[in-house]
Structures are given as structure tokens and as C-alpha cells.
Structure 1
Amino acid sequence: LDMQGQIISVNRFGARQLGLSVEELQGCSIFNFAHPEDISNCNQFFQICRNHPEQVHKLESRIICRNGNIIWARETARLVKDENNRPHLLLVCEDITETRRLSEKIAYQASHDELTGLVNRRQFDIHIQNLVLEAQANDSYHVLCYLDLDQFKIVNDTCGHLAGDELLRQLGEVLRQQVRRMDILARLGGDEFGILMSYCSLEQAIITGEKLRNAVCDFQFAWENRSFNIGVSIGIAPINRACGNAVDVLKEADAACYAAKEKGRNRVHIFSPDDEELTLRQGEMQWVEKIRMGIEQDRFQLFGQLIVPIAANRGGLHFETLIRYRDDQGKVIPPGAFLPAAERYNMASPLDRWVISRLFQYLAGTPSFLDRLEMCSVNLSGLSLSDQSMLGFIDEQFQKWQIPTNKICFEITETAAISNLSYARQFIDSLRQKGCSFSLDDFGSGLSSFAYLKNLPVDYLKIDGLFVKDILDDRVDLTMVKAINEVAHVMGKKTIAEFVENQNIFDLLQTLGVNYAQGYGIAKPVPLREL
């Protein structure tokens, strides 16, 4: 390029990428192909190259091809001089479109609910924290709404989960149409939604709450010649300088929502610290007592889900330990109902201790089961990973029940591990020296997975099921699974694919060389005695 950005020469590959010939490109301005939003950055880039001719400079920007396609390019530039000592700019472009798409997809999946496309619970919590800080900094006023659908269970029970999922998708769109563009709408889990209304008075929030309630009531859900009406209970909590932290605000909105249900459902309730109903029972808080009593009274039950080798013949028994809660009526409650409360209210570590002690007790008391056991995975929460006394407890349990350490694999999540990387590594090293294995769960869900992997001495990578379940139809997911598997093998780690739902996925994973498979297509979770 000359110093004004005119193209002097270009190779044939570069011209072909843009959809033009070499001759057509010569004499054109490079800025003719820059994306309008990137032109300012490109001008600055040229200026920096002119001001610092001795350095190599890099920029990532979008290029518009002749056919209108947009590609992302990593541009590397440096000033050079021709035989007449005239300065020119040598520009080398690398097509990074696929890399950008992968990064954007991973970032989107990390912050959005897969079913509805709305913001997910994790990202919503971050937005709450930011608004709380903003309110305390500038004395602004915001509102949090907590929505819980009424009669959703009827649809799920009578028409199945596919109908329930479709209802949630449609209602997500109904809610989206009732809020301002600046408001943040999220699916918090199950049939619960949250809305953050920034710079909104309580009076305006009540009006919006009633609009939301009416919109849901007016919505009719049709499924296979059946029609359903749904209601919604809404709890509203203010966010201002006087409010507590983000957890407190969420608890208050949740408690107000619970009060709306208690008062007859399908209504809006405003949180008040003087409200006796709210102080008696506050949403997830009810699970804190249930979890505590469940641990004391052995209300929990251990389940297991098989993990099978993909290529080799089946060896010994290999499974992941899971937990269920049995209520007063004997009904088995899945972990999604109580684990979020356990994490939020610091009950996860006591729950992990119960699982470890009862599992080891079962293994010691069932020698035939232990004899055919090759590997048993046990989940450790982020709270347990940072619990300074957990290592001592695990050592005590090994000594008490005399369980072979080489048959136990501890599963930790990527998020928990990187939140306290130095202690996580110390924790892992300590137990691996005693013979235990470690597995990194949901690998690929974080944005810096590969960067941290070198610092975590784990034996297995469990490839996030969000990538696995669609590998037959989604090339990006297939590429992710392939990349994770190859990097893991280069680093000497074995891979386990989650969410293996059918034989076709299993066969493709075998082709890719993934080591193990787990999912409903292999086996559903069952009580340990049934494994």
C-alpha cells in the first residue's frame, strides 16, 4: 500500500478472498473494503504505523468482500521502503472469521439461556451486582422483578417436557415485548424469570408488573389440539442506596414472589421488610432448612450414571455419583430443586461431605460392588474446593472406610477451579499424590478454558454437553468437541463426552477418538444398588 492506503500490489489469494482480480484491486483504496464501523480504527491504525515505522503493528477488523460477505481479518503491518527509498505499508491479512464466530458463540452460551435465548442466571446476577453498585454510587433507583409461572406444571405433566419447553420459549417472547429495550430479561431456571428495570420508580415498576401479568394471562398456549391458560406471580424489590447486596435483593424479590403465590397466585407483590409472610418463608431459603434436616435424617439418596468407554471393550464399573432428595411423601426430588439453594446459602460443602461419607460407607459395606468398580466420580462444589478443612475430611473418610484411592475420581467445575487457581492446584496435587484422579467438568463452558488447562493437573476432561448434543448438525459444536479432544490428548488427558443422547452421536464420538461417553443414550441415573 502507499501511504494513503492505495493498493500497489496484492497476491492472487488475497484478491480471490475479496472476490476480485489482482488487476481490479490495484489502485483501489484499502478503505473501500473496510466495514463502516471499523473505518475510524483503520485510520488510527495507519497513523500509528506512520508514527512508529520501526515496529510491527496488529489490528483485527472486518473486511467487506465484493459479494457483500464480511470476513474478520487479523492485519499485521509494517512500513517498508522500495528501491527508490519511498515508504510503503506492507499489510498481511489472516482470515480469523471462524475463530471469531467460535469466540462469540462461547461468550453467548456462557451468558444466555439455551432454551429461550434470554440472559441466564449467572449473567443476571452480574447485572444485579452492577446495579446495586450504581445505586450506591449515585443514589439512583432501580427495580428487580421475580416472575414465577402459575400452572406451568399442568402443561409439563399432561403434555410432556417438549410442550413445557415450547411454552417457555413463547412466554419469553411475550415478556420481551412488554419491557423496555434497556431492561434486562432473564430466565433464572425452570419456570422462573427475572427482569431488571434500571432507572425505574417503584410506581412505574408496579404498572409494568401488571402489564406483564395481564400479557401472560391473555396468552393462550396451544399444543396438540389442547389449549392452556397460564398465570404468573410477580415479586418486586427495590434497588437503591439503602438496599443490601445483590444476594439480598434477589432474596427479597424471590420472597415477594413467594408471597404473591401464597396470597392466591397471579398477582404482583411488593417486598417490604415488615411483611411477616416474607420473613417466615423466602423462596430458596426454605431449602436451607430442608437440606440441613436432610443431612441429619439421611433424606438424601445416592444415584449413579454410567460412564462407558467408547472404543475399547467395557472394563469395570465406571460411574458418576449423583444425589436426590426424598421428601415426606417419599417423592424423589431432582438436584435442580435444591443444589442452587445449597450453593447460594453455603450448604454445598456439608452436602458434599454427606455424599462422600455415604458413598464410602456403601462401597465398604458392599465388597462385590467394590470389586467390580473401576472408577467412581464424586462431584465437589466450588465451596468445597475452597474449604480448608475438606482435605482433612476426605483423608479421614479414606482411612475410616479403607476405600482404594485409585478408584475415586473427584469432579470439579472449570469455573470453581479457576476462581481460586492456586489453591485448586494445591488441592488437586494433594489428593492425586494419594492416588485419586481428577476430572474437570463442563469443560469448554468458560471463556479461557485452554489458557487455564496447563495449570490444572487433572486426568479427565468432561466435554460440556452443550457442545456434544448438537455435533451431528452444528459444525461449530463439532469443531469445538474435536479441538477439546485433541488438546486433551496432546496433554495426556482422557476425555468424557456428556449428553450422549443416541447411537449416532456415540458413533461420531468414536470417530473423533473421544475416550468415554455419558448421557441418557447410554444409561439414565439409577440408585447405586441398581448399577
Structure 2
Amino acid sequence: MHRLLSIEPSPTLRRAIERLLLERGYVVRSVDADDAAVAALDEELALGASAVLVGWEGVSPDVQAALADRLQQPDAQALALLVLSARPDALPAALAARPHTRVERLIFPEQVPGFVRSVLTLAGRPPPAPPRAALKVLLVDDSKTSRTKYRRLLQSRGYLVTACDDPQQALERVQAGGEAFDLGIIDYFMPGMTGAALCRTLRALPATADLPLAILTAAYADDVIRDALQSGATECMFKDESNALFVARVQGMARLREREQRLHEERERLALILDSVGDGLYGVDRAGHVRFANRAALRLLGHADEAALVGQLAHERIHPADEQGRPVGPDACFLQHAYELGDSLSDWQTVFWRADGEPLAVECNLRPQYQAGQCTGVVVAFRDITERKRFEAELQWQLQHDHLTRLFNRRHFEHLLEQEVIRLRRSTEQSALLFIDLDRFKHINDSAGHAAGDALLASIGRKLHARARESDAVARLSGDEFAVLLRNVDDHGLLALAETFRAILDDGRFVHAGREFEVSGSVGAIHLDRHTASPAYAMSCADAACRLAKQQGRNRIHRFDLSSDTGAVAELHQSWSQRLRSALDSDGFVLQYQAIVDLPGLPSEVLTGGDAGAEAGLRRAARAARHGQEVFLRLDDLGTRLQPKAFLAHAERFNLLPALDAWVLERIGAQLIAAGAGARGRYHVNVAAASLLDVGYVSKLEMLARHGAFAPGSLYLELKESDLAPQLTRLLPTMHALAALGVRFVLDEFGRGFAPLDRLRGLPISAVKLDAGLVQTLAHDPFGTTLVRTMTELAHAMNLAVIAPAVEDLATLRLLQSLGLDRAQGFVLDRPADPATVDDVLVS
């Protein structure tokens, strides 16, 4: 027989486990998971214990450490160990690797005997077969001859018999409480009390109220039989019947008793299961009265026991109001209708109300219960989704806002502007659009660094948001460009409101790291009304008005005038069209390269410190761990290197994106061909969806690949998630064809749009690159850290590498490495550089 020690912090679970193991023939000692647990383990080892069970959750770190240390000592090595834990990775590595050890996740207590059997088998100790429980019979007869006869007859059939020679002795045995009987056989004629009277007395006692009883008599008198049956006896037996008939009648009573015991055990098992389920469960009848509620439901709803709910209408006690707390009558309550109709309902999100009056966001499932083909009620399973709701709200916020300034981002602002233009077409109201561009922001960025520029933008964002009215919408469009949508503004109020926004930019000086900078901004303003052509046209006019404000001397407002400024919009468009076409014809574009580094390849020692020597060491390590490099396109414009965000929108407007992307391919291909057969490396190149849909671009890329300019696996085309999604069906054939030639694809800005992740499985991509805004705020954003960890795990599950761009400090780099990302790039590792300043740009 096996001795088992059960160490469990939950008293309820401890008792359930002990009962289940005792029923299967184990010798069990159950103790709390406190400081005395180690002493109990010592005692059980001395007594020859076979196994120990430890419920790991809820145990203090000190007790966990003490148990882990004791279980790894030599005299405990042969002991089988079962650890019940929802997080196997939380176990000390040495303990998890210990011989004869299993870690299991417990969902129902009934799983424990199977786990124990498995771990004992693992340790070479087969568990015992479960014993067959013998029924216990209370035999009462004043005749020694009859007692002896029936006792022997019952014992020969495997019954355990307690024989009493008078009713008083039988009552004393029952009331002592030491024994629990399964059957009672009572002689009718006994001195002092008849068997019927004893039967009535036993029926009145709680311990024997449901005990199957038989009256045994030698008389066939009708009054004796009637008295016996009226007293509550199940059977009336006669002493002159054959032994076989007596045994058959007893066995019939025994089967009834065993059936009752099985039903009782099933009810207990179901009660344990209900109380072990993490979700709340309650049942109602067709009218909506609560019939039961498990412990999780009581805990979630804040009730001490079932009495607060059972018999009450669920509508009145659980869901009497909507999400805003407004009372909802039963006739208008969706769940009440489902109870009455016996409907099945899945994943229904609503609000339950706790006993303390606080709302609880829940997701519930309703399942009707049937008996004899008739619906008798409904079982409701519900779970607390408060945290999930918070997570979804945070995701939605991330989707709509700029990470740095916490204002709306361009995508959401354009959506709001579109909605406002549509609204105004059905109204006589007027609104306005402001386009704000900081003056000389590039000077601050170049002289004080990106950190100073980011601090300024964040400060401006806070001021603009504080100045806006509740009905206004403020956004950061890109770089140092902002926009404000002013709702319900007439001609007289436009300039006054615009001036308040210009004034806050000119109000005070910006100080960073002891340096002081003047800050101002130019504002372009345009009225919106029912005649506004489109959101895009409104944005173009506001942009042109802002440029006119700059031309007029900066730090001022220019209101767009349809009669005189329309030419400025056309000139703006024409200017960009000419500049881009001229740059393509005269090689006015240049390429720069930035290393992409394998994060696991960076030694831990170079990720510490912050002095110049450590920075140089990190750069050397990054060079050694380089995976490839990203190619950046720049426009040489009047002595200034313009980044893509300054001209790509204009290139898209004039359908020049395929031409720009083809220029990049030709230039890289020419450099590789010039370098000769020894040139190798991996090149990440941004590409627009429009280019992959352009026959000329695709033909040029296929030609370069077939002629060996790009070896298989050397060219990575980066597609923005927002660019790919709308044209996915048209793009897939081209992507698969290019992938067959060795071209690799990377999904860029992953996490910005939160597109359905299952869509990734059908794409020929080899990696995802995180959204830069998410990476830049990661070191100070716990939610972002959780989000990146989750996205990384999902990407790895689909065999995709994860790349982090825009890494600008050691803290973020260390965090990214700890989160399991594969590659990184950014100023902390390498700055974009011209080919002439990179001696091995073609060798990585």
C-alpha cells in the first residue's frame, strides 16, 4: 500500500484530493503548504512514503525554495514527485529535471488519481487496484439463533455485519456516530420495542433517515405487514422463507443502496467540478429563477453563498441594468427572453452587476437543459472579460494615436476628416481645417539630436491638445506637421481660433540639456462646408496655405482663398512633379545603407555600460553580427538630403512610385554587378504595392534576378502592412512568382494596423518588421512590452523572424533581446551611411 503526502495551499482542494486518493486505497496525509510542510516531508520519508504531491500555485517563495531543496537531497531521490502547476516554466530548472518527477496542469480534482498512477509508474511503483467497498448491514434480532444464522448468511455474501440483540443497543450504535450503515434488517417482535417502532425511530435520525430497512418476521398477519410497511420499511421478509430468497431480497436492497451511493457520489463529483471550474456557472428555470451557482459565480458576483441567489430572479439579482447602469425591465432584457425561450447563446458580451453595485464586463454562453424532451431551464457560463476589454481598448488607442505625442495619427485623422466632410454635405454648418508646420525644426533636430526633437514634438502635442475644444480633433501627421479639425466654426471665428494655436507655439522657449531654442510655427487654414470637394482636396489646400504662410515670413497664419490661392495648390503639385521627374532623369537620388543585426549574436557584455568605449564595442559587435542592411532612398534637393516622408506622398500622387522603386533596384544591381562574383549580402528594400502591380517594375526585377544580380535569398522586399492589405488578392500571384526566384518578403510596420494574424499564414513572407513608433516607446510602455512579446511568439509559431527598427538606446536593445526578437537596426547599432563611407557595403 502506497503512502502519499499531499502539500496543497487550498483547503478545499486539499480535502478533495485526499478524499479521491483514499477512495482508491492510498494512505494519504494532507498538509498545508506552509513552513511545516518540509517537516511533514521528513516524517513521511522516514515512514517510507512513495510519492509527494505539491500544489505549486499560491505557495510562498520561501516554502517553494525549501521544498525544492529538500526534494533534491539524496534520501529523497527515489520519491515520486507530482507538481500541480499552471505554469511549468515557473518551476526551478533543477527541480523540473529531477528523476521521477512530473509537472501537470490541474483543471479538475478528479484528474489527480490518474496523475498519481502515472508518476508512480514512472518511478517503478505500480499503484494498487481500487478496492471494492463492502456494504455494512445493521442486523437487529433478540434471538441469538436468528442473529447467528443471518449474520453468517450475509457474511458469506461479502457483507460486513454489525449484530445487535435489542433495539436499544442498535440505537446506541447508530447514535454513537462511529459507523455508517448501508442496510438495516430488523426483527419485528422484540421486547420493549417492535421492529416497526425502531424503524420509525431510525427514520427520524439524520444518519439513518434514508437507510434502506427491512422488517423480518415469522408472522404472516396483515396488521404486522401493514405496520412494517407504514413504518417506512423497504421490505417485509419472513423467517420461514428460503435462504436464497432472503439473499435475493437483500441483494435487491443492496443494489438500490449502491445506486443511491453512486448518485450521491455523482452529485458530489459534479459539485466539485462546478466549484473547480474557473468560469462562473449558474442555472435558471424557464422563468429565470436561479437554481444553483458555483463558487466562481459567487466570487465574481461578490456573494457569500448560494442563498443570496438561489430562488431569486437572475434578472433582478445579476443583470437588472445596461452598461450605463440604466434599469432594464424584464420585457426588454435579452437574457430573460433567452431563459423563457430556452435559447442557446454563444459568446454574448454584456454586463453583470455585483453585490456591491459595481459592473462586471462578462462574456457568457447559454445552453438549454432538457429532461424527457422538454426544456427545463438554462445553464449560463460566464467569465470576467474586464481585462480583455481594457486590452482591446488599448489596442484601439494604439491603432488611432501617434506613440510620441499621443495625438491622433494621420490615418485616423483622415478618417475623422472624411466623416466631417460627409456630415457637412447634409448640413448648413461650417467647420475648419488647420495645417501646422513647425519653423526650423530641422535645425533643432540636427544641432541637439533626435531626443531633443522628440521632446519638443511631445511638448507641442500636449499644448495643442490642451488648447483644443472638446469637439476638436488634433493629430500629428508626420515629422513636425500637425493638423487640427475645428468643428462648427464660422468665418468670424476661424482666424481667432487659428491664432490661439499659433500663439502656443510662439509662447515661451524650448530648453533641452541646458540649451535654449526658439520655437514657432506656420499655420494654414481652410473652411470646410457642404461644397468642400473631398478630404484630400481640403488637406492639399491647407498644406498649400501653410506653405504660403512660410513664404510670407513664417510664424504666421494664412487662410486659404479659393479665388487667389488655387494656383498655389497647382504650383505645389506641379513643383513636386517636376522635381521628382528631374531627379529620376539626372540621378538626383542617392542610396544610404544601415546594418540589420542578429540580436542573439550580440554578446551580453556589450549591452552594458554607456561610455564611449562601450559604444564603440557595441558598434564592433554589431558589425560582426550583421545579418544584412536596409537600403534607404534619399532625394538630393538644393543641397539638402530629403527623407522619403518628404516626397513619397507626392510620388504616389503622380504615380511615380514604380519608377522610384525601379531606380533603387537598378542602382543596387549595378553596384553588385560592378563588385563582381565575390559580392554577397542581404539587402532590405522598401517597395510599394503599386510597384508590384506594375508590369515594368516586375519585369525589371525578374530580369535582374535571372541574370544573377541578386542571388536567391539576398533581396528582401519590405511591404507595409497597410499597403498590402487592401490589394492582397491582386498582389499574391506576383509575390509567389517572385518568391520562386529567391526574392524574400518582409511585412513592414507590423502591429500598427493589427490585421488578422491568420492572414499571415497564406503570405510568402519570411519576416515581420515591427512598427517603429511601438519600438521607440517600448522602454517606458509595459503594455507595449506585452504586445511585442505576444506578437513575437505568434510570429515564431509561424516560422517568421521578427525585426525591430528605430532602436536608439541600449535599454531598448536589451529589452528587445530579452523578448526574443531576432534582428534589430537603429542608431544605437549603426547610422545610415553613403556607400563611399562604408568600406564593405557589398559584403555583409
- Residue 256, structure 1, aligned to residue 545, structure 2: yes
SS of 2:536's partner is helix
Q: Say which of 614, 630, 633 aligns to 1:323.
A: 633
For 2:764 and 2:743, how far apart are their aligned partners in 1? Answer: 12
Rate the CA distance shift 1:209–1:429 in 2: closer, same or farther, 3 A.
same
SS of 2:292's partner is coil
Rate the CA distance shift 1:386–1:136 in 2: closer, same or farther, 3 A.
farther
- Residue 213, structure 1, aligned to residue 473, structure 2: no
Amino acid at match of 1:341: H
Q: Please list the CA deviations of residues 134-192 of structure 1 after superposition, one character each: whole Å capped at 9, or x if unmatched.
A: 33444653322212233545544554443433333333333334433212221222222
Rate the CA distance shift 1:442–1:286 in 2: closer, same or farther, 3 A.
same
| Counterpart position of 1:90 | 379
- Residue 336, structure 1, aligned to residue 336, structure 2: no
Q: Measure how far apart 1:418 and its partner are.
A: 0.9
Q: Measure how far apart 1:39 and its partner are.
A: 6.4
Q: Say which of 26, 36, 40 aligns to 2:324.
A: 36
Q: Measure how far apart 1:124 and its partner are.
A: 1.5
| Counterpart position of 1:289 | 578
Q: Please list the CA deviations of residues 229-284 of structure 1 after superposition, one character each: whole Å capped at 9, or x if unmatched.
A: 53332212233343322222111111111111212223222222432695277657
Q: Measure how far apart 1:515 and its partner are.
A: 2.6
Q: Please list the CA deviations of residues 405-452 of structure 1 after superposition, one character each: whole Å capped at 9, or x if unmatched.
A: 431111111111111111121121110111211111111211324142
For 1:369 and 1:66, how far apart are their aligned partners in 2? Answer: 75
Amino acid at match of 2:667: R
For 1:70 and 1:306, how far apart are their aligned partners in 2? Answer: 52
Q: Say which of 461, 476, 487 aligns to 2:768.
A: 461
For 2:810 and 2:507, how far apart are their aligned partners in 1? Answer: 43
Q: Please list the CA deviations of residues 335-388 of structure 1 after superposition, one character each: whole Å capped at 9, or x if unmatched.
A: 3322333334433222111111111111111237723x1x21111113223334
For 1:63 and 1:219, how far apart are their aligned partners in 2? Answer: 51
Rate the CA distance shift 1:38–1:283 in 2: closer, same or farther, 3 A.
farther
For 1:67 and 1:93, how far apart are their aligned partners in 2? Answer: 19
For 2:598 and 2:531, how far apart are their aligned partners in 1? Answer: 56
| Counterpart position of 1:270 | 559
For 2:321 and 2:426, how far apart are their aligned partners in 1? Answer: 44
- Residue 306, structure 1, aligned to residue 621, structure 2: no
Give the structure with higher Rg (CA): 2
For 1:143 and 1:89, how far apart are their aligned partners in 2? Answer: 55
| Counterpart position of 1:482 | 789
Amino acid at match of 2:664: V
Amino acid at match of 1:525: P
| Counterpart position of 1:348 | 657
Matches within 5 A, 1:401-416: 402-416=709-723
SS of 1:254's partner is helix
Q: Measure how far apart 1:37 and its partner are.
A: 4.9
TM-score by length of 2: 0.57
| Counterpart position of 2:83 | none
8 Å contact from structure 1 (residues 10, 25) kept in 2: no
Matches within 5 A, 1:18-167: 18=301, 20-23=303-306, 26-27=309-310, 29-31=317-319, 35-37=323-325, 44-50=333-339, 52-62=341-351, 72-80=361-369, 87-138=376-427, 140-153=429-442, 155-157=444-446, 159-167=448-456
8 Å contact from structure 1 (residues 361, 401) kept in 2: no
8 Å contact from structure 2 (residues 319, 352) kept in 1: no
| Counterpart position of 2:157 | none
- Residue 15, structure 1, aligned to residue 303, structure 2: no
For 1:221 and 1:504, how far apart are their aligned partners in 2? Answer: 26
Q: Please list the CA deviations of residues 433-479 of structure 1 after superposition, one character each: whole Å capped at 9, or x if unmatched.
A: 11211111111211324142123221112233444445555443233
| Counterpart position of 1:367 | 676
8 Å contact from structure 1 (residues 141, 199) kept in 2: yes
Task: Quote the RMSD (CA, aligned, Å).
Answer: 3.4
8 Å contact from structure 2 (residues 657, 690) kept in 1: yes
SS of 2:333's partner is helix
TM-score by length of 1: 0.87
8 Å contact from structure 2 (residues 400, 411) kept in 1: yes
Q: Please list the CA deviations of residues 264-320 of structure 1 after superposition, one character each: whole Å capped at 9, or x if unmatched.
A: 223222222432695277657644332222222112111122222233596775112
For 1:102 and 1:285, how far apart are their aligned partners in 2? Answer: 46
For 2:724 and 2:328, how far apart are their aligned partners in 1? Answer: 40
| Counterpart position of 2:743 | 436
For 1:366 and 1:418, how far apart are their aligned partners in 2? Answer: 37
| Counterpart position of 2:752 | 445
Q: Measure how far apart 1:98 and its partner are.
A: 3.8
For 1:257 and 1:5, how far apart are their aligned partners in 2? Answer: 64
For 2:822 and 2:329, how far apart are their aligned partners in 1? Answer: 46
| Counterpart position of 1:176 | 465
| Counterpart position of 1:200 | 489
| Counterpart position of 2:32 | none
| Counterpart position of 1:526 | 833
For 1:297 and 1:517, how far apart are their aligned partners in 2? Answer: 34
8 Å contact from structure 2 (residues 318, 353) kept in 1: no
Amino acid at match of 2:547: Y
SS of 1:492's partner is coil
For 2:355 and 2:443, how far apart are their aligned partners in 1? Answer: 54
SS of 1:326's partner is strand
Amino acid at match of 1:333: L
8 Å contact from structure 2 (residues 636, 642) kept in 1: yes
For 1:37 and 1:349, how far apart are their aligned partners in 2? Answer: 56
Q: Please list the CA deviations of residues 38-87 of structure 1 after superposition, one character each: whole Å capped at 9, or x if unmatched.
A: 86599633144136424234322345667898654221123436899884
Per chain length, whose mean CA-contact separation is higher, i.e. which structure has more relative contact order (CA < 8 Å, sep 6+)? 1
The total of aligned residue pairs comes to 528
Amino acid at match of 2:434: C
Q: Measure how far apart 1:111 and its partner are.
A: 1.5
- Residue 376, structure 1, aligned to residue 683, structure 2: yes
Structure 2: give runs of 5+ residues left out of the alignment. 1-282, 603-623
For 2:461 and 2:736, how far apart are their aligned partners in 1? Answer: 45
Q: Please list the CA deviations of residues 212-241 of structure 1 after superposition, one character each: whole Å capped at 9, or x if unmatched.
A: 333443445454566555333221223334
For 2:520 and 2:637, how far apart are their aligned partners in 1? Answer: 27
